[in-house]
Structure 1
């Protein structure tokens, strides 16, 4: 007998599936570490402007004859009004009721 007690064992070998599992696990750990380092607020749609400062939400008071569609179109002239209406409804907790009334204060998304 010579050397260590484990000298007669064969070296550990990974199968193709074992290597794939190991690579997937390493990728998942790397992505989680990156997410924790950068932070979830650093990704698109976080509500922050390009310089890292958040802009305050604007509010408007609904005038007689105004609709949510018109308010959304005016708030984001270059964007899709359907998306703007959806964001305004979510921000103001309007649920499935897109009807606004004169004098009602509506918060507009900041971006």
Structure 2
């Protein structure tokens, strides 16, 4: 609006006490929902998978490297063999035919 050649400046928008309470309540609700989603997701990630762990029977001529390559093809060979050794409590790098090895669960 123009009055007497001067433009009238509107005062900045101000929230009333009730408006501030509504905005604060909305932010608290939003934060509560976000934390509920995060805690639900985190608790599901920590749950152990159901059922027995996968196993494999060592065949004649198998090495830990062969088993790791067959069962974990996307993993680095060294880390896959180390994990097989750790899970099965093996001190060496060999396994005998007929041994049953526990495999890591797929991620």
What TM-score, normalized to structure 2?
0.52
SS at match of 1:84: helix
Question: Which residue matches 1:19?
Answer: none
Q: CA RMSD in A?
A: 2.9
Q: Over residues 57-98 of structure 1, what are the superposed CA-to-partner deviations in whole Å (9 max), with x where a residue is unaligned?
A: 211110001110000111111111111111110000002x01
Question: Which residue matches 2:59?
Answer: 63
Point out the structure with max Rg over C-alpha: 2
Work out the number of aligned pairs and report it: 68
- Pick one of 48, 66, 74 that aligns with 1:78: 74
- Structure 1 stretches lacking a partner, 5+ long: 1-37
Q: Which runs of 4+ in 1 moved over 2 A?
A: none
In structure 2, what is the Cα distance between the partners aligned to 1:93 and 1:109?
13
Q: Is 1:94–2:86 an aligned residue pair?
A: no
Higher helix share: 2
What TM-score, normalized to structure 1?
0.51
In structure 2, what is the Cα distance between the partners aligned to 1:64 and 1:54?
31
